[in-house]
Amino acid sequence: MQLTIRTLLGATALCAAAGFAQAETLTIATVNNGDMIRMQGLTEDFTAKTGISVEWVTLEENVLRQRVTTDITTKGGQFDIMTIGMYETPIWGKNGWLVPLNDLSADYDVADLLPAMAGGLSYDGTLYAAPFYGESSMVMYRTDLMEKAGLTMPDAPTWDFIREAAAKMTDRANDVNGICLRGKAGWGEGGAFITAMSNSFGARWFDENWKPTFDSAAWHDTLTFFKGMMDESGPAGYATNGFNENLSLFQQGKCGMWIDATVAASFVTNPKDSTVADHVGFALAPDKGLGKRSNWLWAWALAIPAGSSKVDAAKQFIEWATSKSYIELVASKEGWANVPPGARTSLYENPEYQKVPFAKMTLDSILSADPLHPTVDPVPYVGVQFAAIPEFAGIATDVSQEFAAAYAGQQTVDEALAKAQKLTADAMEAAGY
Amino acid sequence: MARAVTPRRKTINTALAWAVGLIIFFPILWTILTSFKTEGDAIAYPPKFLFFDWTLENYAIVQERSDYMRYLWNSVVIAGGSTLLGVVIAVPAAWSMAFVPSKRTKDILMWMLSTKMLPAVGVLYPIYLMFIKLGLLDTRIGLVIVLMLINLPIIVWMLYTYFKEIPGEILEAARMDGATLKSEILYVLTPMAVPGIASTILLNVILAWNEAFWTLNLTAAKAGPLTAFIASYSSPEGLFYAKLSAASTMAIAPILIMGWFSQKQLVRGLTFGAVK
């Protein structure tokens, strides 16, 4: 009898535990891009393995940034996992707003994460967000137009070559622009591009004493070169073009070259959407011979807000979503070209993935970016196309607006740089630097 | 004496009205057309107007990815609830301001309107913190309250304007006949102001339906209305314009249909008292 009661009690406890596990639901805030949407479609696999359900809150990148920032600073507790980038992670990690990911399981193989990604998502040596996918930037060019221009794109071109090639590929009569680049205001749009480009020209945002350096010759050269090249060979209205506008132009065959995020490679080589899918080549982002290239480094990563009541379940999800087996799951369902790139070393050692045309150049681009030493001269900040300080997003948005006004011809390059210098100096002083 | 309108002038006026109407409607029409295109056709230049391969693929993808009915129900509850609650509070307020004004009535009306001039983001953090304390984050009731409060000045102002057109003597006569305050408002004032109240309700339902700051910032996975549904299809890194257009069309369709059927009441209410 006693055995029966014990058995019954045990069974009840097991049922309750199972019911509890079934009932656990994670709320995850994420961005709307191809890789994240694909992950949403595959979460049944995670639920089947763990019994944990997932609810998604998908938002546009800027809305998401505002939404999760509000929630984490007020300890709102609305999200168990947040999708954040390389910019937020070290700042939030430093503030103690994120759960450290220093106890992930041995199967997860933290050492397999690309060092540049793990480094950019850590603060003081502790990983605070696990990279879901990573990206750098590179040159995507039309092989047919390059051949027609009588040129051969080197694997590692210089800015002077790019400018010359852009001029030769430009065919205004047929609406072909030699080069398409981001000019749109916004720290994550044109601001990111010009900052990464300035690194290759020897410029930097701040000197070792946090003084802005827009009054330097290097910044003057960067902006003058960019505007000169784009006025010669860029599309009309380039000052308002961002990633999507340039993607649209490139896919319609209106750009000879496009320097932008490596994730764009899968879009421009997809024959369903791109009219030039069969004529796209890749090269490293250009340099100026100073030892730094003009490519950036970014990762969308999953992090757990401090104070979350579902840390264990959240860690389980993060391990699943950023694991090697998840990559294999995507490959089996959607093909190797669609797996989330740029996060794990093992992916680039996989012979199947090596067959993807843009795989090698993506890895080389990621490996050539160093968020800890992004510039020719030393800087006090971390980050390639940004400085990982809370004030940067606001300042860089204002600065990029001044630059965009210069691209549009509303002011000169010198006027834009003078205004950038002043507004940055004022903001940094007000922030106590 | 009414001014004579020649047939020629009438034709020109009609053509002009149609032209203005089409210009105003064009963005919506373009969104609807884009929702039936492939992503490639959606960005084609020169743009494809009608001659493209029509597809329902975007609707199928949106339907598969999102729980549209949940977002729709949230929108109905939030827009309808906030408007009705607002009208219940605003009718007595507007009655007192229109028929028993004090020397501060005008100031109060102006002060109420001035609250609309504050950028919403200025009070995001205080409201967010209050919502955390009250457990109202990501709840429909929380959004009903917030949207009711932000639209209340408009509701009061509109009702005040309509009530001012109603002769006070009629209400006085009702009181002489022994009507209580409740009866006076419910059985005398309200029936006379039905066109005004109807247009106020319609306009505020539209405002609440389209509100996209609070509905995005105070919701997560449960209470998000159709504005959150649309936001989930917007992306700065990837061309998903056709899917975004399909989501937008699905989001605006209910309010568009409602506006279409109630346009007579809406115009009647908005022009109520404009001509004496």
Q: H-helix or E-strand containing A2?
A: helix A2-23
Q: Do B233 and A32 touch (CB under 8 A)?
A: yes
Residue A12 is predicted with a pLDDT of 47
Round the average pLDDT of chain B to a whole number and report it. Answer: 90
Assess whether the previous peptide bond of A374 is cis (omega < 30° from 0). no
* pLDDT tier, B258 (very low <50, low <70, confident <90, very high otherwise): confident
Closest CA to A137 of A340, A285, A290, A3: A285
Q: Does the CB of A177 have a partner CB in chain B at under 8 Å?
A: no
Residue type, B24: I
Residue A28 has pLDDT above 80, yes or no: yes
Residue A17 is predicted with a pLDDT of 45
CB A244 within 8 A of CB A258: no
* Residues forming a β-bridge with A298: A135
Instruction: Note the pLDDT tens digit of each residue in A174-226.
Output: 999 999 999 999 999 999 999 999 999 999 999 999 999 999 999 999 999 99
Q: How far is A275 from chain B (nearest CA, A)?
A: 9
Residue A411 has pLDDT above 50, yes or no: yes
User: How would DSSP label each residue in B175-219?
Assistant: HHTT--HHHIIIIIIHHHTHHHHHHHHHHHHHHHHH--SHHHHS-
Q: Name the more confident of B263 and A366.
A: A366
Characterize A133-144 residue by residue with b for buried, 16 or more Cβ atoms within 10 angstroms of its Cβ, and e for exposed. Answer: bbbbbbbbbbee
User: How would DSSP label each residue in A313-342?
Assistant: HHHHHHHHHTSHHHHHHHHHHH-GGGSPPS
HSE value, Cβ hemisphere, 13 Å, CA-based, for B11: 3
Residue A34 is predicted with a pLDDT of 82
Residue A21 has pLDDT above 70, yes or no: no
Q: Does the CB of A55 have a partner CB in chain B at under 8 Å?
A: yes
Query: In this structure, what is the dihedral angle of CA atoms B223, B225, B229, B234, given to the nearest 10 degrees?
Result: -100
Residue B22 has pLDDT above 50, yes or no: yes
Q: What 3-state class would DSSP assign to A284?
A: strand
Residue A32 is predicted with a pLDDT of 85
Q: Does the CB of A260 have a partner CB in chain B at under 8 Å?
A: no
CB A296 within 8 A of CB A385: yes
Query: CA-CA distance, A72 to A70, in Å (whole number)?
Result: 6
Instruction: Note the pLDDT tens digit of each residue in B119-173.
Output: 999 999 999 999 999 999 999 999 999 999 999 999 999 999 989 988 888 888 9
Query: CA-CA distance, A125 to A102, in Å (whole number)?
Result: 10
Residue A344 is predicted with a pLDDT of 94
> Which positions 274-303 of A are in contact with B (Cβ < 8 Å)?
275
* pLDDT tier, B194 (very low <50, low <70, confident <90, very high otherwise): confident
Least confident of A244-248, B38-42, B68-72, B89-93: B38-42
Instruction: Note the pLDDT tens digit of each residue in A64-87.
Output: 988 999 999 999 999 999 999 999
Residue B2 is predicted with a pLDDT of 58
Fold observed for domain B66-270: MetI-like fold (1.10.3720)
Closest CA to A342 of A138, A88, A60, A89: A138
Residue B3 is predicted with a pLDDT of 66
Average the pLDDT over A413-428 and give the result.
97
Please work out, in degrees rounded to the nearest 5, the angle formed at the alpha carbon of residue B45 by the alpha carbons of B234 and A275.
85
Query: In this structure, what is the dihedral angle of CA atoms A352, A357, A362, A368, given to the nearest 10 degrees?
Result: 100
Q: Does the CB of A236 have a partner CB in chain B at under 8 Å?
A: no
Walk me through the domains of chain A, giving residue ranges and CATH numbers: 25-135+297-354 (3.40.190.10), 137-296+381-430 (3.40.190.10)
Q: Do B217 and A248 touch (CB under 8 A)?
A: no
Average the pLDDT over B217-223 and give the result.
94
Distances from the Cα of A335 to the Cα of A305, A329, A331, B139, angstroms: 33, 9, 4, 40
Q: H-helix or E-strand containing A84?
A: strand A81-85
Residue A3 is predicted with a pLDDT of 46
User: How would DSSP label each residue in A32-58?
Assistant: -SHHHHHHHHTHHHHHHHH--EEEEEE
Query: CA-CA distance, A320 to A324, in Å (whole number)?
Result: 8
Using CA coordinates, name the residue in chain A closest to B214. A67
Characterize B209-248 residue by residue with b for buried, 16 or more Cβ atoms within 10 angstroms of its Cβ, and e for exposed. Answer: bbbeebbbbbbbbebbbbbbbbbbbbbbbbbbbbbbbbbb
Q: How far is B276 from chain A (nearest CA, A)?
A: 48
Q: How far is A400 from chain B (nearest CA, A)?
A: 17
Residue B271 has pLDDT above 80, yes or no: no
Using CA coordinates, name the residue in chain B closest to A58. B232
Distances from the Cα of A408 to the Cα of A172, A225, A247, A390, A395, angstroms: 19, 15, 20, 29, 20
Residue B224 is predicted with a pLDDT of 94
Residue type, B234: S
Round the average pLDDT of chain A to a whole number and report it. Answer: 92
* Residues forming a β-bridge with A280: A142
Residue B238 is predicted with a pLDDT of 78
pLDDT above 90 as % of chain A? 82
Residue A301 has pLDDT above 80, yes or no: yes
Residues of chain B contacting residue A263, judged by C-beta atoms under 8 Å apart: 237
* pLDDT tier, A15 (very low <50, low <70, confident <90, very high otherwise): very low
For an interface test with B, give the residue of A28, A74, A252 to mutate (most B CBs within 10 A). Answer: A74
Using CA coordinates, name the residue in chain B closest to A25. B221
Q: Name the more confident of A301 and A34.
A: A301
Q: How far apart are the first and last CA of chain B?
A: 14
Average the pLDDT over A289-307 and give the result.
95
- Give me the total of CB pairs closer than 8 Å, taking one residue from chain A and one from chain B: 97
